[in-house]
Structure 1
Amino acid sequence: MEASKVIPILRIFDETKAREFYIGWLGFQIDWEHRFSNDAPLYMQVSRGGVVLHLSEHHGDSTPGAKVFIECTGVRDFHKELNDKQYKYNHPGLEHEPWDAISVTVIDPFMNRLAFNERL
C-alpha cells in the first residue's frame, strides 16, 4: 500500500470559535466548506503550508481530544508569529524534545491538540 495523503478529521462544536482559532490565530485558509442544508452541521477543509485538516461539526466524524503530530520546518518563526498575535486563549511555548526536535503544541477550543515539530 502507498498513501498519497493523510487528512485528520477534527471534531469542532462552534463554527465561530473554530474560525477564530484556525483562520484568525493559526493562519490557516479555508479551502472549502460543505453543509447538507443551511441548518446542517459544518464540514470544512483548512490548510496552511502543506498541512491539511478537516474540521467537522458532525457528531459521528471524530472524538474531541485528538492529537495531530505535524512534521514541519520553521517552528521558531511559527512560535513567534503565534505569540505576537497575543491570542488570549493560548500562549504556546517552544519545547526542546528528547528526539532532537523543537515543537509548539496548541490546543484548540475543542481540546484537540496540534503538535508542530521540527527536527534539528
Structure 2
Amino acid sequence: MDEEVIPILRVASAGAAVAWYSRLGFTQQWEHRFEPGFPAFVEVARGRVRLFLSEHTGDARPDTLVYLRLRDVDAIADEFGVQPTDAPWAREIELHDPDGNRLRIGTPT
C-alpha cells in the first residue's frame, strides 16, 4: 500500500461540489451516507490525487487552502477563465470552489 494524504474539504452540497471538481478533471469514486437524507461523504480523484468532500459540519472548516501539483495548469486556467502566474517553483493559479475552499494549482517549471 502506498501511503498518502487525503485532504477533507467541507462542502454544503456534495453533488454541486462533485460537478465543480469535475471541471478540474476529478471523478467521483464513491459516496457514503449513514442513512438516506444524512450528510454525504464523497471521494473524488484525478489519477492518484484524491480529495474527500464532506457535508458533515465537524469534519473540516471553510476557507481551507489546498495545493495541487497538476500537469496542465494552463488548460485548467482556460477552463476557469483565469490567468496563470509564474513563480520560481511553478506556473500557478488560485481558484475558490463553490464553498469557499481555496485551491492553489501549480505545474512545476
TM-score (norm 2): 0.88
Q: Are 1:93 and 1:105, in contact at CA under 8 Å, matched by a contact in 2?
A: no
Counterpart of 1:62?
Answer: 60
Aligned residue for 1:33, secondary structure, equals strand
One-letter amino acid matched to 2:53: L
Q: Give the gaps of 5 or more residues in structure 2.
A: none
Count of residues in Structure 1 that have an aligned counterpart in Structure 2: 108
Counterpart of 2:104?
Answer: 115
TM-score (norm 1): 0.80
Q: Does 1:93 align with 2:102?
A: no
Q: Give the gaps of 5 or more residues in structure 1.
A: 84-90
Between the aligned residues of both structures, percent identity stands at 34
Shift of 1:27: 2.6
Q: Does 1:102 align with 2:88?
A: no
Shift of 1:55: 0.1
| RMSD value, Cα | 1.7
Shift of 1:53: 0.1
